[in-house]
Amino acid sequence: MKGILHTDGGSRGNPGPGAAGIVLTNQNGEVIKEKGEFLGVCTNNEAEYKAISFGLALALESGIDDLDCYLDSELVVKQLKGLYKVKNSGLSLYSAKIKQLETKFKKVTYIHIKRELNKQADKIVNEILDRRF
């Protein structure tokens, strides 16, 4: 089954309190699941990686095997596509976990989008952080 995943991660302070937002839809744009998660203290990049990791797991749980992933972090997209090396040792652990999750899909594609096209996932992140701080 084909799925569309929008994820966002953010921290206030970088590092600071972080959260992840995940929106999983079918190919017609109908929401299958939405999820938000408080991450504790982390950097923006760590939050982005955690968000995509949670999103991939959510897609697997939902029976998705062909997934288009939309992120507003150009760095993370380029790293996951192998265009940039992951130099940070902490991020390389997240990257390895994501690569392991990818093997459970027929196909995973990462697409960079502008922030304004990722509004729902961003909204989830900000709602979580607003409630806590």
pLDDT tens for 99-123 read: 999 999 999 999 999 999 999 999 9
The pLDDT value given to residue 19? 98
How far apart are the C-alpha atoms of 48 and 77, rounded to whole Å?
10
Q: Omega before 15 cis (within 30°)?
A: yes
How far apart are the C-alpha atoms of 11 and 19, rounded to whole Å?
6
DSSP-derived secondary structure for 28-96? TS-EEEEEEEEEEEE-HHHHHHHHHHHHHHHHHHTT--EEEEEES-HHHHHHHTTSS---SHHHHHHHH
Per-residue DSSP letter, 116: G
**E strand or H helix at 4:** strand 2-11
Mean local confidence (pLDDT), 33-51: 97
Name the band, by pLDDT with cuts 50, 70 and 90, for residue 5. very high
Number of compact structural domains in the chain:
1
> Which domain does 63 fall in, by range?
2-132
User: Tokens for 20?
Assistant: 């992840």
CATH of the domain at 37: 3.30.420.10
**Average pLDDT of every residue of the chain:** 97
